[in-house]
A and B are shown apart, each in its own frame.
Chain A
């Protein structure tokens, strides 16, 4: 059994002054429904992500009421940065087993303009353990700084290698009109940007953005633009970094293995990658753990063109979180939107040669929750 992504949509990301959580979510839902050729009455399932600027116990019902939906099933999901990918897997399961024809999945928030930067950083730092971690004063960049420092220590990868990934993402974003950060950067710019949490510098970190994304997952394919969800796998190894295994990215290895095996695919079959890149080090570790680069070699691979639009594994052609932007749940959903666009052959100036199989990986927390997904073209 499988299910199909029938429609996708993402708003522009960046500072969208005056935007609201529900307004952004509605815009993304409009885009996805139009893309799918469906109306509100066709939607019988709804899954939404959380919003840090609009915390609510029942955000799915709030959105259904606001947008004008009467679904047979509605709920919100929470898995940090892995929420978007988790919702796609959930929608696939619902379409297959709960007699739902079309499940709308929506995430979005005004994370940049709806609150102060320090309030966002404070909220995110709350993922730390209240007695074991938060008293240290660590922020989310600090948690990832710890992971990145250990990664460099163990692999011999350099800060310059990591910078190559930031440069690649920015170059990709330059070809997407909706991206938050589109000004070209060099390796030197990354290395000279201000320290945030060593070894991570400002340009190793994704921005905070406003934005939203949505997709429609259907039980049956209604056109050859539909993309099949053929594999999925999850792993949940810990929540807090101090309780993580020594092999911090172990969950990514497990999730990738499960997803590829369910899809009956090998990494060599994959022609497009959508890999979570909250920080350059995250991207390097996930590319390596999921099997698309040798350990410690992701950055050098990027420099050699391995992950370029016309390379062996075209990667995050929208610019990823590092440059398309990160508005929370929706940031993780744009990887899926872009992969679907690539598999349909509709990516225009960003189009990779002719991918038939895409591999998506997202993580939440500090490499805590992992979701891998295999998507395949039907055209």
Chain B
């Protein structure tokens, strides 16, 4: 019995320092680690682990079309960079999650998630 092929990982655009190699978000036009101005957009694979997650009940935005409760996760890429994003309620710490980010100044968005560690 063959399992379905693993979907291709979406990409996340970070800022990469050409001098020290540091990957970071958000974009600053320079590297906050070494001060170099030689920085370029750099795509990494968007596979993350849920570092923490909360369900938010009621919010100042709930009168702006946001249903409550909603989930917010802090997710961590392998390189250590973290992103905060809206997720379905019910995810747990350690779950695998794929995110996408199309530019160094963009918000990260959820592509897919699956329960449990890889």
Contacts and interface: CB of A to CB of B under 8 A. Distances in A.
A-B complex is real: yes
Interface of A: 118-119, 121-122, 125, 128-129, 131-133, 135-139, 141-142, 145-150, 153, 194-200, 241-244, 246
A147 B57 contact: no
Contacts of B105: 131
A196 B57 contact: yes
B58 A196 contact: yes
From A118, A119, A137, residue with most partner B Cβ within 10 Å: A137
Nearest to B94: A153
A356 B73 CA distance: 44
B87 to A, nearest CB: 9
Q: Which 8 residue pairs across A and B have the least CB separation, nearest first?
A: A145-B54, A150-B52, A122-B60, A135-B107, A146-B52, A118-B60, A121-B60, A133-B84
A241 B84 CA distance: 9
Interface residues of B, number: 31
B66 A153 contact: no
Contacts, number: 97
A138 B72 contact: yes
Nearest to B58: A196
A138 B84 CA distance: 9
A132 B59 contact: no
Given A132-B84, A195-B57, A147 B52 contact: yes
Given A131-B106, A132-B83, A242-B82, A139 B56 contact: yes
Contacts of A148: 54
Interface centre among B60, B69, B85 (most CB of A within 10 A): B60
A194 B57 contact: yes
Given A131-B106, A142-B72, A121 B54 contact: no
Contact of A241 (B56, B74, B107): B74
B26 interface: yes
A76 B52 CA distance: 35
A147 B83 CA distance: 14
A198 B51 contact: no
Contacts of A121: 59-60
A131 B61 contact: no
Contacts of B59: 121, 137, 139, 142
Given A129-B84, A131-B107, A146-B73, 8 more contacts: A131-B105, A132-B108, A137-B70, A145-B55, A148-B54, A197-B55, A198-B54, A244-B82
B55 A195 contact: yes
B56 A142 contact: yes
Interface string B65-91: 010011011100000101111100000
